[in-house]
């Protein structure tokens, strides 16, 4: 199918020549001789051109006014404005309205084709982004949060309300694996900033220095190894959403810098000397009790009150096990598609095992179990032998026996960081919180162990 080009030009000789030239280049060309015809094609007939070549001064109006009206109706495509006598205010207005270029007539066909070629590449890229954004919006709607229970319905209702308002900040709380990342994606792709970027960062995954550089960016030479300029994630999220997971693990002095950036809507790169404006929507998530951390002094009260404009709490899966009957088929379909399997039937024995389990790892644990069973399936029945679920009493058993061996569950109920935290905690307790002895037992250095003690908030008092 040919790309569509709309020419809006009242000069008959020039209009017919441009129509002939671009038709010969394989374009599907439409020609409007005034504003009324152009408006009818764009707004009523829904002609969807990739590029619009429009004269600015037409007998019945101004091409820039038509561009503004088209943009107001959400009509895409790149516009190239032609004028016989341009002025600086006109060119400024054209660029402010999003015109691709503003050129004076006469313009040679070769130069015009070069400009149109650039406009085509830009328009195609924008269409791809719009299609991707639309696909993400369909994928991540409030209905994506599956479940027929009252708890799931409450979360869906809250997601629907939040997606309809331009909130500045939001806290999502809940146990590990309850779907905080999913909720953040739903809020972004269903909200008013869906066309902007969604930038995600796990605050527990990086040490303090790297986390600051990731958030705010840096200039060349800001620190050892900073060989070039880097835009921070807050800068990259401008116009969209920044999702900070595990916000409770952020260092106190970095919390102060984040608060200032949120309040002032500006950032300064590390090593930089100028403020950069950022307009973003902030979503944070945590499985910790931030109010308790505020009381203990490990989380800033002013930051907590600033980011808790809205709060969304996600329920643990064990509190709404009736939703398993809706969740499991969705996950089976997903892994069937990924692995080319054909699991269709879930036997009643499987449902009894799933509904008897405690699901301390929540939906993440359920997802791991379903993935394993689908991948190892050889027929249409969901294989019960690959469930590998412990009894509720032993699901999350963590013990240190007399041989100084730590027993941890390998059933998907614990994340890697949780295992790391439990191992370090057990080693510290076994060494009476002697860091040197614990580091020796773990086969690591004191510096590495001290970093992890700080990361997980482990101390003798705790």
What are the residue ranges spanned by the domains of the chain? Answer: 4-136, 162-313, 317-393, 415-456
Domain 415-456 matching CATH 1.10.10: the answer reads yes
pLDDT of residue 133: 66
Residue 6 · residue 38 · CB < 8 Å: yes
What pLDDT sits at residue 394?
A: 40
Lowest mean pLDDT segment, chosen from 102-111, 254-263, 314-323, 410-419 = 410-419
Question: Is residue 102 within 8 Å of residue 83, measured between CB atoms?
Answer: yes
Q: How far apart are CA 52 and CA 4, in angstroms?
A: 9
Does 109 have pLDDT greater than 90? no
- More reliable by pLDDT, 448 or 148: 148
CATH H-level superfamily of 4-136: Response regulator (3.40.50.2300)
22-34 pLDDT per residue, tens: 998 888 899 999 9
DSSP codes of every residue in 77-96: SEEEEEESS--HHHHHHHHH
Question: Band of the pLDDT at 411, cuts 50, 70, 90?
Answer: low
Half-sphere exposure of 302 (CA within 13 A, CB side): 10
Please determine, for residue 1, whether its predicted confidence score (pLDDT) is greater than 50. Answer: no
CA distances from 400 to 403, 404, 405, 429 (A): 8, 6, 6, 10
Supply the mean pLDDT for the chain: 87
Decide if pLDDT at 144 tops 70: yes
- What's the mean pLDDT in 182-194? 93
Average pLDDT of the residues in 317-335: 95
**Taking 90 as the threshold, does the pLDDT of residue 196 lie above it?**
no
Percent of the chain whose predicted confidence (pLDDT) is above 70: 92
Peptide bond into 106 cis (omega under 30): yes
Across the range 180-190, mean pLDDT stands at 94
- The stretch 152-161 carries a mean pLDDT of 96
Instruction: Give the model's confidence band at 281: pLDDT under 50 very low, under 70 low, under 90 confident, else very high.
Output: very high
Q: Is the pLDDT of residue 10 over 60?
A: yes
Q: How confident is residue 154, by pLDDT bands cut at 50, 70 and 90? A: very high
Nearest to 33 by CA among 9, 4, 62, 61: 9
Q: Tell me what the mean pLDDT of segment 374-391 comes to.
A: 88
List the single range of 104-108, 286-290, 384-388 with lowest mean pLDDT: 104-108
Tell me the CATH number for domain 317-393. 1.10.8.60
The pLDDT score that the predictor gives to residue 456 is 80
Residue range 360-369, pLDDT digits in tens: 999 999 999 9
Average pLDDT of 334-346?
A: 94
**Selection from 26-35, 139-148, 294-303, 385-394 with the highest mean pLDDT:** 294-303
Q: Which helix (H) or strand (E) holds 281?
A: strand 281-286
Mean pLDDT, residues 303-331: 95
User: Which pLDDT does position 412 carry in this prediction?
Assistant: 60
Q: How confident is the model at residue 393 (pLDDT cuts 50, 70, 90)?
A: very low
Residue-wise pLDDT for 207-231, tens only, equals 888 899 999 988 887 777 777 778 8
Contact (CB, 8 A) for 210 and 250: no
pLDDT attached to residue 72: 82
pLDDT of 403 > 60? The answer is no
Lowest-confidence segment of 83-87, 175-179, 233-237, 401-405 by average pLDDT? 401-405
Residue 445 has pLDDT above 80, yes or no: yes
Same fold, 4-136 and 317-393: no
Q: What is the pLDDT of residue 208?
A: 86
Residue 392 pLDDT exceeds 60: no
d(CA 19, CA 326): 56
Nearest to 212 by CA among 166, 250, 167: 250
Q: Give CA–CA dist 387/352, Å, rounded.
A: 12
CATH homologous superfamily of 162-313: P-loop containing nucleotide triphosphate hydrolases (3.40.50.300)
- Please state the rounded mean pLDDT for residues 42-66: 88
């Amino acid at each position: 199918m040919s790309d569509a080009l709309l020419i809006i030009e009242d000069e008959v000789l020039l209009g017919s020549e441009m129509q002939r030239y671009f038709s010969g280049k394989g374009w599907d060309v439409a020609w409007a001789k005034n504003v009324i015809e152009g408006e009818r094609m764009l707004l009523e007939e829904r002609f969807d051109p990739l590029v619009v070549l429009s004269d600015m001064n037409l007998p019945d109006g101004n091409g820039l006014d038509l561009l503004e009206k088209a943009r107001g109706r959400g009509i895409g495509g790149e516009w190239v404005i032609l004028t016989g006598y341009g002025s600086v205010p006109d060119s400024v207005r054209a660029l402010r309205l999003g015109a691709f270029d503003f050129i004076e007539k006469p313009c040679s066909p070769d130069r015009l084709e070069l400009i149109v070629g650039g406009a085509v590449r830009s328009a195609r890229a924008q269409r791809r982004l719009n299609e991707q954004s639309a696909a993400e919006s369909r994928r991540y709607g409030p209905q994506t949060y599956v479940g027929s229970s009252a708890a799931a319905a409450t979360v869906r209702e809250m997601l629907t309300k939040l997606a309809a308002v331009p909130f500045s900040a939001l806290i999502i709380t809940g146990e590990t694996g309850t779907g905080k990342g999913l909720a953040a994606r739903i809020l972004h792709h269903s909200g008013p900033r869906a066309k902007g970027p969604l930038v995600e960062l796990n605050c527990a995954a990086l040490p303090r220095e790297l986390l600051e550089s990731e958030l705010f960016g840096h200039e060349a030479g800001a620190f050892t190894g900073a060989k070039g300029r880097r835009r921070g994630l807050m800068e990259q999220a401008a116009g969209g959403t920044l999702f900070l997971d595990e916000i409770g693990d952020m260092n106190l002095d970095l919390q102060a810098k984040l608060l200032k950036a949120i309040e002032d809507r500006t950032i300064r790169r590390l090593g930089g000397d100028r403020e950069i404006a950022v307009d973003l929507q902030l979503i944070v998530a945590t499985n910790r009790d931030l109010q308790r951390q505020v009381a203990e002094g490990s989380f800033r009260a002013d930051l907590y009150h600033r980011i808790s404009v809205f709060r969304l709490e996600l329920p643990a899966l064990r509190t709404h096990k009736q939703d398993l009957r809706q969740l499991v088929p969705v996950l089976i379909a997903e892994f069937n598609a990924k692995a080319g399997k054909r699991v269709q039937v879930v036997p009643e024995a499987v449902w009894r095992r799933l509904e008897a389990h405690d699901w301390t790892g929540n939906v993440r644990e359920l997802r791991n179990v379903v993935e394993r069973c689908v991948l190892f399936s050889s027929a249409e029945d969901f294989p019960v032998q690959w469930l590998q679920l412990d009894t509720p009493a032993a699901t999350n058993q963590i013990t240190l026996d007399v041989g100084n061996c730590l027993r941890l569950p390998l059933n998907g109920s614990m994340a890697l960081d949780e295992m790391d935290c439990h191992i370090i905690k057990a080693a510290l307790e076994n060494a009476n919180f002697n860091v040197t002895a614990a580091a020796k037992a773990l086969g690591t250095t004191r510096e590495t162990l001290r970093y992890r003690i700080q990361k997980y908030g482990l101390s003798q008092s705790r």
